[in-house]
RNA sequence: GGUAAUAUGGCCAAGUGGUAAGGCAACGGUCUGCAAAACCGUCAUCGCCGGUUCGACUCCGGUUAUUACCUCCA
């Protein structure tokens, strides 16, 4: 039984998918006007872990996400660089894939762009007008927020408050086009001839920000989907508006479970351009040579909690991950000479921790507790590694279990012991020979040489062990 | 102002009515030719003040601090 915290009800609820064994989830993707920042990565990783856990639990997950490839930020950036909007969008959409690859984020089942669903968006908007939920005004089309019963409940915002806030913020021109300050645009008229636009029944224009997600969720998933995710800041207005549009359009409940991830702070401050701590994944990957440590930090914090990103938290993540890798590697070393059979006592200790892991993850993806179970497995592995005699099946069972659980966090390839150069191999062999003849002076010297070549040697009762 | 969230050891971070998981760091020990790795051990009374209770970090009230959202934002 999996429980998830639903932002809509502000409670943990038992998760039941609409179709048994299958999950339809939609996660808001980035606006492709720049390299993704660490916050985008956190969101992508948080939902990647959630997806992976559902898959671990044998669900078939249909994971849809978007690229917002048309909006003001892209238009502005294109202007600034003197290129067209799609050049910008393409560049950063490609960068998204390049940056998420080393972080081992699974590709979405469907990754759609706003500009790929323009006809559907126009039809959706037309339907909203027909149903009386939206109106055209000087080429813009606005959604009548108040007409939708329950508007704002996702973010638990008070309607009159929102209205007052909105009225104070909007410029007069925009206010005159709207019937009500809290109405939001589902279609925006184009105001410049060199601006990207599509023909519509309301003239040349482009989609409003929120509409693409409503359209894609319906097109690629269903009228009612199981899970919708995104950063907590999207609860209002983005998701609030999606609910209004989608439910006005279909007459059905849009989403059963709303999941929102917490923010990433950088050096204990909110990340923002003005503070100069805007951290892109692109830069991080250049500066830091262990991308899995970045993933570890982002994946092992519970998804709703804030994360502080700093060189300190990152190096702690790296060290913690090293402990797991070392334990895994050390036990792997015993595999080749393990004897047949298995040790039931150890096997059952493993089973127990796997169960702890699952219980933790079942509880709204409590990754810190799940991780504690992995560390217990590592201790079991280390202790078992020290036995004079180890059994093949148990060694494998331990290794497989650690690997399987870590892959839920998206951390794979725990050993990086591949590819020795000829030089390295012969030095290793020479060292074995030196030790056999108790020539420690030579063996220590060889150890140092190997060290400088990036091969680290350790001596064990079972012989020389090395890693890179 | 409105709506929420958070405050646990040197750091990160679980727990949430019966005397505090896990990781990092530190210290002591074991093992080792040395080293490394590992293992064992040591290291907190949970922001503050009240209340409820046989018993509270855990519930209630108050208080302080920090943070987020309130139509750019993961």
- Closest residue (CA) to C1' of nucleotide B25 is A316
For the CA of A246 and the C1' of B74, the distance in angstroms is 22
Domain extent, residue A62, equals: 3-123+145-151+210-281
Identify the bridge partners of residue A339 per DSSP, sorted by sequence position: A391
Q: What is the mean pLDDT of chain A?
A: 92
The verdict on A38 and A116 lying in the same domain is yes
The verdict on A362 and A273 lying in the same domain is no
The verdict on A116 and A217 lying in the same domain is yes
Of A139 and A156, the one with more pLDDT: A139
| Lowest-confidence region among A125-139, A173-187, A428-442 | A173-187
Residue by residue, DSSP assigns A398-464 as HHHHHHHHHHHTT-----------HHHHHHHHHHHHHHHTT-HHHHHHHHHHHHHTT-EEEEETTEE
For the CA of A356 and the C1' of B27, the distance in angstroms is 31
| Lowest-confidence region among A54-68, A148-162, A448-462 | A148-162
What whole-number distance in Å separates Cα of residue A372 and Cα of residue A360? 10
Q: Is the pLDDT of residue A226 over 90?
A: yes
Q: How many residues does chain A have?
A: 468
* Cis peptide, bond prior to residue A119, ω within 30 of zero: no
Let me know if residue A69 belongs to a domain. yes
Let me know if residue A191 belongs to a domain. no
Q: Which of A263, A281, A299 is the last residue of a domain?
A: A281
What whole-number distance in Å separates Cα of residue A387 and Cα of residue A283? 44
The verdict on A319 and A455 lying in the same domain is no
Q: Which of A408, A431, A457 is the last residue of a domain?
A: A408
Q: Is the pLDDT of residue A173 over 80?
A: no
What whole-number distance in Å separates Cα of residue A67 and Cα of residue A45? 16
Mean pLDDT of A137-148: 93
pLDDT in tens, A358-387: 999 999 999 999 999 999 999 999 999 999
Q: How confident is the model at residue A412 (pLDDT cuts 50, 70, 90)?
A: very high
Indicate the SS3 state at residue A68: strand
Q: How confident is the model at residue A158 (pLDDT cuts 50, 70, 90)?
A: confident
The verdict on A315 and A378 lying in the same domain is yes
Let me know if residue A236 belongs to a domain. yes
Q: Which among A348, A330, A459 is positioned nearest to A385, based on CA atoms?
A: A330
Chain A window 13-42: residues with CB closer than 7 Å to nucleic chain B are 28, 30-31, 37, 39-40, 42
pLDDT in tens, A106-116: 999 999 999 99
Specify the pLDDT at position A468.
Answer: 85
For chain A, how big is the Rg over CA atoms in Å?
A: 27
Place of tokens 């929120």: A210
A240 touches strand B (CB under 7 A): no
Q: Is the pLDDT of residue A310 over 80?
A: yes
Let me know if residue A186 belongs to a domain. no
For the CA of A17 and the C1' of B12, the distance in angstroms is 35
The verdict on A8 and A107 lying in the same domain is yes
What whole-number distance in Å separates Cα of residue A40 and Cα of residue A280? 9
The verdict on A276 and A382 lying in the same domain is no
Both tokens of residue A80? 């600034």
A432 touches strand B (CB under 7 A): no
Let me know if residue A344 belongs to a domain. yes
The ipTM estimated for the assembled molecules is: 0.93
Residue by residue, DSSP assigns A258-281 as EEEEPPEEETTEE--TTTT---BH
Residue A5: its H or E element: strand A3-6
The verdict on A404 and A428 lying in the same domain is no
pLDDT in tens, A37-58: 999 999 999 999 999 999 999 9
The verdict on A237 and A330 lying in the same domain is no
Indicate the SS3 state at residue A348: helix
Specify the pLDDT at position A165.
Answer: 74
Specify the pLDDT at position A157.
Answer: 77
The bases of strand B with some atom under 7 A from any protein CB are 1-5, 11-15, 21-25, 32-40, 67-74
In chain A, % of residues over pLDDT 70? 99
- CATH assignment of the domain containing A80: 3.40.50.620
Q: Helices in A196-310 by DSSP H: which ranges?
A: 211-216, 240-250, 281-287, 291-300
pLDDT in tens, A209-218: 899 999 999 9
Let me know if residue A292 belongs to a domain. no
- CATH assignment of the domain containing A324: 1.20.120.640
A17 CA to centre of own chain:
21
Q: Which of A236, A260, A281 is the last residue of a domain?
A: A281
Q: Is the pLDDT of residue A269 over 90?
A: no
DSSP at A246: H
Chain A window 393-422: residues with CB closer than 7 Å to nucleic chain B are none
Let me know if residue A230 belongs to a domain. yes
The verdict on A445 and A402 lying in the same domain is no
The verdict on A463 and A328 lying in the same domain is no
Q: How confident is the model at residue A267 (pLDDT cuts 50, 70, 90)?
A: confident
The verdict on A13 and A84 lying in the same domain is yes
Let me know if residue A320 belongs to a domain. yes
Place of tokens 């008229």: A189
Total domains in the fold of chain A? 3
């Amino acid at each position: 039984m999996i429980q998830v915290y639903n932002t809509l009800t502000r409670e943990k609820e038992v998760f039941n998918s609409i179709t048994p064994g299958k999950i339809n989830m939609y996660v808001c993707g980035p606006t492709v006007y720049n390299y993704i920042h660490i916050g985008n990565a956190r969101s992508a990783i948080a939902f990647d872990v959630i997806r992976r856990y559902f898959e671990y639990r044998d669900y078939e997950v249909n994971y849809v996400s978007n690229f917002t490839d048309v909006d003001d930020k892209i238009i502005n950036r294109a202007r600034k660089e003197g290129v067209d909007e799609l050049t910008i969008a393409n560049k950063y959409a490609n960068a998204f894939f390049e940056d998420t690859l080393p972080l081992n984020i699974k590709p979405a089942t469907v990754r759609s762009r706003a500009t790929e669903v323009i006809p559907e968006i126009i039809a959706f908007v037309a339907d909203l007008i027909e149903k009386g939920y939206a109106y055209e005004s000087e080429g813009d089309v606005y959604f009548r927020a108040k007409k939708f019963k329950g508007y704002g409940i996702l973010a638990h915002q008070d309607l009159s408050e929102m209205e007052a806030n909105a009225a104070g913020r909007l410029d007069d021109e925009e206010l005159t086009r709207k019937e009500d300050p809290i109405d939001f645009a589902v279609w925006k008229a184009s105001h410049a001839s060199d601006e990207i636009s599509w023909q519509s029944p309301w003239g040349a224009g482009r989609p409003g920000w929120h509409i693409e997600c409503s359209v894609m969720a319906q097109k690629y998933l269903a009228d009612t989907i199981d899970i919708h995710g995104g950063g907590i800041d999207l609860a209002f207005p983005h998701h609030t508006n999606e609910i209004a549009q989608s439910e006005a359009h279909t007459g059905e409940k849009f989403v059963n479970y709303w999941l929102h991830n917490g923010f990433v702070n950088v050096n204990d401050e909110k990340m923002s351009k003005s503070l100069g701590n805007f951290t892109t994944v692109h830069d991080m990957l250049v500066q830091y040579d262990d991308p899995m440590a970045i993933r570890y930090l982002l994946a092992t914090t519970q998804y709703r909690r804030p994360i502080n990103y700093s060189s300190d938290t990152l190096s702690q993540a790296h060290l913690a991950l090293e402990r797991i890798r070392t334990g895994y590697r050390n036990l792997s070393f015993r595999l080749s000479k393990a004897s047949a059979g298995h040790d039931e006592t150890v096997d059952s200790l493993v089973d127990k921790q796997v169960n702890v892991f699952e219980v933790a993850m079942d509880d709204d993806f409590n990754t810190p507790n799940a991780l504690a179970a992995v560390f217990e497995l590592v201790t079991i592995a280390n202790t078992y590694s020290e036995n004079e005699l180890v059994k093949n099946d148990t060694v494998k069972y331990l290794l497989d279990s650690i690997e399987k659980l870590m892959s839920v966090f998206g951390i794979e390839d725990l050993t990086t012991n591949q590819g020795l150069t000829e030089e390295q191999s012969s030095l290793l062999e020479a060292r074995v020979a030196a030790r056999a003849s108790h020539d420690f002076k030579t063996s220590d010297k060889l150890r140092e040489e190997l060290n400088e070549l990036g091969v680290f040697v350790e001596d064990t009762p079972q012989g020389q062990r090395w890693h890179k």
